[in-house]
Structure 1
């Protein structure tokens, strides 16, 4: 019975396209061939171009990929970014969970380094501030600290870490070289541990240097923001003047709204960094082992388990949601972090709440098409049902994850075991229903372009918003 809504959505969506119009449900509409060409109206291509430009500007600008691997070509890098952008357009709430995980991970990394070395650095300078003014002899003694004492050297060379440093570290910003050969990318925990033990020197890189490596510029950001603002103003103006809005514009508004949240979470993340910062392993220390992104330690990879094709299909979802980040052999050989990874396990409950809330908002925005003049009543019913299912689908997932994160672990209890199985099945079904509802929304958008309501091509009379004679 729980699979009934899923079957209804999939079957009726594709059947309704071939059904004739129901009696009494047709509305005055315009076909694509009836698209006007007067100067005071807009055409179908104007609508398509406006939505495509807004989606591309928001998604392309918001995506901040991790640092690519060594010797990877521009085609590979661009293709990977395009795939991430497509995922952002299809499932923007998953991109928000990824960005939120990186945000909290970057903040935690900056705090850990500042707590470890920042207070000692401030104390060292505070203890000797007066001596520097009174005697040059003691100043030289302070400046000539014992180089063999790595913790002291780390404290002396430390510069305060910011969010940019945290993002840079998690996205693969520090490459470990052993005997002048690249070994693996270090995550912040490994970097902190090696510096603390004196196996390497503290990397000295300022926030300005990190921003200099970033290729994000204010012009592209400004253009994207202006395009989005203009798109939203047009929708508000059309609503104020009782002009109809297409379903494509509603979906564009929903995707753009969630993409802006992703953009805010990644505001301090460097964009399109081409190469990492090299840190060198000291020859006096034994070579490291069991590195997170070391090729020799990759024992589980895509295509190496019993269900390779299933892993290929599910690893983007599991990685973005933080369940499990799969490190492929290709990523390990290229000395880079996974394309959809680059974060730690911080604030899982908060991130889950953020993702579910964004999914509810995404469905709520689609409810703006509740009274859209569909060509068939069946299509209107499907749109309303799909919008409500998108709103309700995150709830079972939230309950399931909350139960597993509550710390309840009583394998001997049959009731707890039944609850876990039931919640797990409910979460899988909810995910399938969400996917079906999202596909339904996309199909209905395409079908709606075949016959649009009258008035859809009328442009906004901007002069009505300003007093004039």
Structure 2
């Protein structure tokens, strides 16, 4: 409802050149026009938008644990220069680009982790959703003890020895050999009750707290309020502000679903097995990608779009969990998990339509903006239909009706054909948002007259 109200108010400001805006400009006296406080600069517009986008795409993202084994006898250049730069460009910057180009995919990732964390938390006594998040994000890592290190098996409730051990003698931590990240199925519940810290201790491992999150949300909310205020006073928004408004809308949902997830955890909790004990990954067998290169590429587009990519991942040979790992959700809830994010993805594109009738410096930019808006609304909605078909299929025991199945295959085919168009549309709107700053209408530089919102006596 908030989005609809916002779209209505702002759209009214750009319906025609002879509408309320010229009348409003005529009502402003000369003193008001000469007042420096009633004007804003391009620099202030850019700073406000970029800071909000940064909060929505960098600060709001809660990455998984990207484990980096410590190297012995590491030179200072590699430790303090090469390793941080490599981590930044190969992981953090890549995740930032994903959040910038496909923000609704970050939302769907957050929703899947939220659901999986809730499922896991119910299986262990005393666990909260924070514990479930920590498990899903790769917070537990298997290490091998040195061959000569003494250890004691962790006890199980059945009094049988466990494959997991605890060191019982001194040894160097650097001699421990990292094996692979662990998922929930690799643990007996008894072990988890013994080794896992409390919720407060897990949150302490994160680099963010509730106050930081509130500050980010307040800044984002303030930007949204300014946009609504400009709409009520018939002041136009720049295309850059429209793009930022779309990011701000999704940011509230991303932060909400990740509120209990520790942020920027770099060191997982170590669990040990003796050097002679083999590790066999638990859970269902992974699915195999199509061997054909083109078929594999198309299959990955579809599986990543609906959130099933984790079904193809085997963690035992990996150094850390994949970037978008959220565990293997049951097919019964996978379709439901994708409904909300894909619908909000269409709303994200629809917000860009606020600038549908804005003044663009060139006709080419206007046409390209409109085509991009249509693609950003339609393509996520196609994914929504696919999720609906998946949800229907998980609820009926008999074969899926032929009509529903045909709709699903048609939408999957359209998604494979148009996925590139969505990325192109996102890039186009970002470029045009900055290019249109070279020729803004005069009213775009006017500040909101906040006195009209505050009860007072003239």
The verdict on a shared fold, with TM-score over 0.5 as the criterion, is: yes
Q: Return the alpha-carbon distance in structure 2 between the equivalents of residues 463 and 416 of structure 1.
A: 55
Distance 1:397 1:468, change over 3 A: same
TM-score by length of 1: 0.69
Distance 1:309 1:49, change over 3 A: farther
1:42 to 40, 43, 66: 40
8 Å CA contact 1:397, 1:426 repeated in 2: no
8 Å CA contact 2:101, 2:427 repeated in 1: no
Does the alignment pair 1:338 with 2:311?
no
Q: Deviations over 1:70-111 (max 9, x none)?
A: 337433443322321221121111111111111111111111
Q: Deviations over 1:281-333 (max 9, x none)?
A: 379x95332368xxxx99989xx96639985x99688447423149899x977
8 Å CA contact 1:174, 1:279 repeated in 2: yes
Unaligned runs of 5+ in 2: 1-16, 23-33, 71-82, 147-176
The structure whose Rg is larger is 1
8 Å CA contact 2:143, 2:271 repeated in 1: yes
8 Å CA contact 1:399, 1:423 repeated in 2: yes
1:11 counterpart residue number: none
Q: Return the alpha-carbon distance in structure 2 between the equivalents of residues 211 and 229 of structure 1.
A: 25
Unaligned runs of 5+ in 1: 1-23, 29-35, 115-159
8 Å CA contact 1:363, 1:387 repeated in 2: yes
Give the C-alpha shift of residue 47 in structure 1. 0.9
8 Å CA contact 2:56, 2:248 repeated in 1: yes
1:364 to 335, 350, 370: 350
The root-mean-square deviation of aligned C-alpha atoms, in Å, is 4.0
2:182 to 182, 186, 197: 186
Distance 1:298 1:456, change over 3 A: same
Q: Deviations over 1:213-262 (max 9, x none)?
A: 11113453243223212212221222222111101101101012112211
8 Å CA contact 2:185, 2:282 repeated in 1: no
Q: Return the alpha-carbon distance in structure 1 between the equivalents of residues 311 and 376 of structure 2.
A: 27
Distance 1:316 1:54, change over 3 A: farther
Q: Deviations over 1:334-363 (max 9, x none)?
A: 731112213221421112211221112112
8 Å CA contact 1:327, 1:338 repeated in 2: no
1:75 counterpart residue number: 85
Q: Return the alpha-carbon distance in structure 2 between the equivalents of residues 300 and 449 of structure 1.
A: 48
Aligned length: 381
TM-score by length of 2: 0.71
Distance 1:367 1:99, change over 3 A: same
Q: Return the alpha-carbon distance in structure 2 between the equivalents of residues 170 and 396 of structure 1.
A: 28
For CA contacts below 8 A with separation 6 or more, give which structure has more relative contact order: 1
